Amino acid sequence: MLRHGSIVWGALALFLWTPAVGGAQGGNVAPIRVDAVMEKIGVKGLPNAERELELGKSTTAVLAEPQKLAAVGITGMHDGARVTITCVGPSRLRVEADEMDPVSRSVTVTLQVGDDGSLTIAPARGPQKPPPGRP
């Protein structure tokens, strides 16, 4: 009987502890308003597109002004290309454009969103070190 009670208390402790751990992993990353970003990079959001992105969320748009997208490092795309915007960190967006015609291709950049809404190409991050004890 003592063993059964220990299991119940252990499960209860795990249940109460787990939400705190999950919340700590996401951090307090403020959502990024992507409607202004879409305007700056020359894309039009789909009717059901998100206007704010939280960490790990994405939205899809259609390229309308290729010259604006070229200004942030994605060149050679044509009107109608699919553009996916994903929030990958605090004030960081990954923008991926792909198209099938005239040639199938995909280009991705990571952008830093400034406090004033400015967009700059984020510095490349080197390979991450594995956790201690892992090869």
Residue 124: the pLDDT is: 73
CA-CA distances (angstroms) from residue 35 to 39, 58, 65, 107, 119? 7, 12, 15, 21, 13
Which helix H or strand E contains 23, and what residues bound it? Answer: helix 2-26
Residue 49: the pLDDT is: 85
Cis upstream peptide for 132 (omega within 30°): no
- Residue bearing the bigger pLDDT, 114 or 1: 114
Residue 43: the pLDDT is: 97
Mean pLDDT in residue range 76-83:
95
How far apart, in whole angstroms, are the C-alpha atoms of residue 58 and residue 110? 13
Is the pLDDT assigned to residue 25 strictly greater than 70?
no
- Residue bearing the bigger pLDDT, 50 or 81: 81
Hey, what amino acid is at 88? V
Q: Which of 40, 35, 41, 31 is nearest to 83 (CA)?
A: 41
Residue 40: the pLDDT is: 96
Burial class (CB within 10 angstroms; exposed 0-12, middle 13-18, buried 19+) of 77: buried
Residue 30: the pLDDT is: 84
Residue-averaged pLDDT of the chain: 82
Hey, what amino acid is at 45? G
Mean pLDDT in residue range 8-28:
48
Residue 106: CB atoms within 10 Å: 13
Instruction: Name residues whose C-beta falls within 8 Å of residue 55's C-beta, 6 or more positions apart in sequence.
Output: 26, 27, 29, 87, 88, 89, 90
Mean pLDDT in residue range 20-49:
78
